């Protein structure tokens, strides 16, 4: 966490920075520290009072040293820089060696933090392109009187910011900024509308209009008294082309295998024990199988519900036995699912209506009893073409190839057909341009469904506000590549990585995602669409690359992840629980409670499956009760874990 003062009175905010750190203590319970440039003898302008840094450490590398805020500088100014840094740099050893060789750099620790600061000092802002890892960091330069910061290319680690009357603040947790803002959250109505459509708030917005996110793949500078200057440094390009023959296809598959093997090996670097999540799909199974090469005693973890079709426990156990790892299971009950929701929303900062958050929280909680770091398979679908929706361009080709007028006519026919009529959605979607029909993996409320629910609904706000700028960067690409590109900037960083980071760090557990590695992306981006999706399967090239690594029973298995039976819950024992949330929520300014109750009753009666829409509303109502009205106060325990290594 950091605050840059525009008045030279940063010390006035020290206690509020400390309060913000206490809110985020779960992210780093091992050690806490603060630093301010006030009275710093190494500072050429002693007592300027421009900056306060605070840090909570989860010690993973160089456990006895690498304390933060970290001080570093060249021999002529040994305390020139101060760093706070969340994440891990997996190529830190190589960077340290290169810096020693090229510039004679001497390091006082064995960690990755010094590698970041020294790299920025010697290579300038472009040093962020050399960092292989997940990160959000702030570096204060005492000489230039300037803050430099960056967030990793894919947005694995979060970074929030808020403009204050006397400066600007940054934090890994939005809730950590609220003491500085000295006010409860205020709902951003446009963000709420996007959330109800997408099930998350798209960057750079948050649900609180006073707080923003630093976007993924962005670096920035701040001078006291001036607004931050942001610059995107990561511009992903999918430039795949068909493999022309069997030899070229084999070479591609071999490159995928080598890149993933190298990435997992790098992600296993730690001075503590590393485990792995394991569901029933190819992604997590591949990661676990490769991780076992570095740690023969690897522990794997999974979760599920005791309802047929909503658990991958048996398949994950079979996979664990096949690859020879010890496996730990944490089943979740419906009562636990309900009881933990307020705490989960508190940890989230922003509402995210992905039910998989709940089992993920429980499996992370179990894993933290045994290990301090886990690997997981996030990112494989976005990079290698793993979502079934990516097969849609092929299934719609007979319609999308028609002249525009005829397509639009067929779309109108599709809209006019009654719900449930076979082929209705095919006709409706086939008549739409890609930019109009695809805006990510989650589509919760349609525009026509919002008009009777959302009092603040504006037809001038649309998902296209979010996706059109992304589509503009991919003109001329094939449709599957364009969909992947949209997902990198929407679904991946808005939902997948938020739940991965927040639910694991809520349990003081570090999660690493080897698929989201620059070296892996450099290979994945070259894959042609025919090697990603077919009418029969997805992630085709990845599956071919993993043939010798994962057990046969998961190689072509349909992805489930950690599925949640909310459809059954909300129609059964959890109905009254949901009704109580709706009737007690103080959100009438935004949502019509009668409309929500009608959805809930229709769902219980079996008239329609409204479960995802109801869940989306419930999560917002709980968020509002916690952060806006204060009517809900989750019980957040002090982080205390028996496992230190």
Find the DSSP H helices in 199-295.
246-267, 282-294
Residue pair 136/152 in contact (Cβ under 8 Å)? The answer is yes
Distance between first and last Cα of the chain: 25
Residue pair 243/228 in contact (Cβ under 8 Å)? The answer is no
CA distance 274 to 543: 25
Residue 448 among known ligand-binding residues: no
Neighbours of 42 (CB within 10 A): 15
Checking phi first, is residue 200 left (phi over 0); if not, alpha (psi -120 to 50) or beta?
beta
Neighbours of 240 (CB within 10 A): 23
**Local structure of 185: helix, strand or coil:** coil
Residue pair 212/227 in contact (Cβ under 8 Å)? The answer is no
Whole-Å CA distances, 360 to 19, 501, 560, 642: 28, 10, 13, 20
CB-based burial label for 355 (10 Å; 0-12, 13-18, 19+): buried
**Local structure of 375: helix, strand or coil:** strand
- In the DSSP assignment, the letter for residue 155 is -
Q: Give the HSE-up count for residue 397: Cα atoms under 13 Å, Cβ half-sphere.
A: 9
> What is the enclosing helix (H) or strand (E) of 213?
strand 212-213
Q: Which of 490, 493, 539, 485 is nearest to 239 (CA)?
A: 485
Query: What residues contact 472, with CB distance under 8 A and at least 6 apart?
Result: none
Rounded to the nearest 10 degrees, the angle between the axes of helix 189-198 and helix 464-471 is 70
**Local structure of 3: helix, strand or coil:** strand
Query: What residues contact 442, with CB distance under 8 A and at least 6 apart?
Result: 198, 199, 200, 353, 354, 491, 495
Residue 112 among known ligand-binding residues: yes
Annotated binding site for ATP, which residues? 376-377
Annotated binding site for L-glutamine, which residues? 112
Annotated binding site, which residues? 112, 376-377
């Amino acid at each position: 966490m950091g605050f840059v003062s525009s008045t030279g009175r940063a010390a006035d905010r020290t206690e509020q920075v400390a309060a913000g750190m206490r809110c985020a203590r779960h992210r780093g319970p091992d050690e806490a520290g603060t630093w301010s440039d006030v009275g710093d003898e190494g500072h050429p302008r002693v007592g300027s009072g421009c900056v306060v840094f605070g840090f909570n450490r989860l010690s993973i590398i160089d456990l006895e040293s690498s304390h933060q805020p970290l001080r570093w500088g060249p021999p002529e100014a040994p305390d020139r820089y101060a760093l706070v840094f969340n994440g891990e740099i997996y190529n830190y050893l190589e960077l340290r060696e290169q810096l020693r060789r090229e510039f004679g750099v001497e390091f006082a620790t064995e960690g990755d933090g010094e590698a970041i600061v020294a790299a920025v000092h010697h290579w300038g802002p472009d040093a962020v392109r050399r960092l292989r890892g997940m990160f959000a960091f702030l570096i204060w330069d005492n000489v230039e009187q300037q803050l430099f910061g960056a967030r990793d290319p894919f947005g694995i680690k979060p970074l929030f910011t808020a403009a204050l009357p006397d400066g600007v603040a940054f934090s890994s947790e939005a809730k950590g900024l609220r003491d500085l803002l000295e006010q409860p959250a205020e709902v951003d109505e446009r963000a709420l509308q996007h959330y109800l459509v997408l099930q998350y708030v798209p960057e750079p917005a948050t649900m609180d209009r006073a707080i923003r996110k630093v976007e993924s793949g962005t670096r920035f500078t701040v001078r006291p008294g001036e607004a931050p200057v942001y610059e995107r440094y990561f511009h992903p390009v999918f430039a795949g082309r068909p493999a022309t023959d069997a030899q070229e296809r084999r070479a591609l598959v071999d490159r995928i295998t080598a890149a993933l093997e190298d990435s997992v090996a790098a992600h296993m670097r730690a001075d503590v024990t590393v485990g792995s999540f394991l569901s029933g799909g190819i992604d997590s199974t591949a990661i676990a199988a490769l991780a076992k090469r570095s740690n023969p005693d690897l522990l794997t973890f999974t979760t599920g519900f005791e309802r047929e079709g909503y658990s991958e426990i048996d398949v994950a156990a079979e996979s664990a036995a096949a690859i020879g790892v010890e496996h730990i299971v944490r089943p979740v009950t419906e009562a636990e699912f309900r009881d933990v929701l307020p705490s989960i929303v508190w940890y989230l900062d922003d509402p995210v209506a992905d039910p998989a958050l709940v089992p993920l929280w429980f499996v992370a909680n179990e894993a933290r009893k045994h290990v301090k770091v886990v690997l997981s398979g996030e990112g494989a679908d976005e990079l290698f073409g793993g979502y079934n929706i990516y097969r849609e361009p092929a299934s719609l080709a007979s319609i999308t190839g028609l002249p525009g007028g005829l397509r639009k006519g067929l779309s109108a026919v599709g809209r006019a057909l009654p719900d449930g009529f076979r082929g209705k959605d095919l006709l409706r979607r086939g008549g739409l341009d890609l930019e109009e029909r695809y805006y990510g993996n989650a589509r919760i409320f349609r525009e026509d469904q919002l008009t009777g629910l959302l009092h603040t609904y504006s037809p001038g706000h649309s998902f296209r506000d979010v996706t059109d700028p992304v589509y503009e960067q991919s003109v001329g690409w094939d449709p599957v590549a364009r969909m992947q590109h949209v997902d990198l900037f929407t679904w991946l960083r808005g939902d997948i990585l938020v739940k991965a980071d927040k639910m694991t760090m809520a349990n003081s557990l570090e999660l690493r995602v080897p698929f989201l590695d620059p070296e892996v992306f450099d290979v994945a981006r070259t894959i042609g669409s025919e090697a990603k999706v077919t009418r029969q399967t997805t992630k085709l090239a990845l599956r071919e690359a993993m043939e010798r690594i994962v057990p046969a029973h998961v190689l072509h298995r349909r992805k489930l992840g950690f599925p949640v039976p909310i459809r059954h819950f909300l129609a059964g024992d959890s109905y009254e629980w949901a009704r109580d949330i709706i009737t007690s929520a103080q959100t009438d300014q935004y949502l019509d409670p009668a409309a929500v109750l009608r959805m809930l009753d229709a769902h219980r009666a079996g008239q329609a499956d409204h479960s995802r829409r109801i869940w989306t509303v419930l999560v917002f109502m709980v968020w509002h009760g916690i952060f806006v009205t204060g009517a809900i106060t989750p019980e957040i325990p002090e982080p205390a874990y028996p496992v230190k290594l």
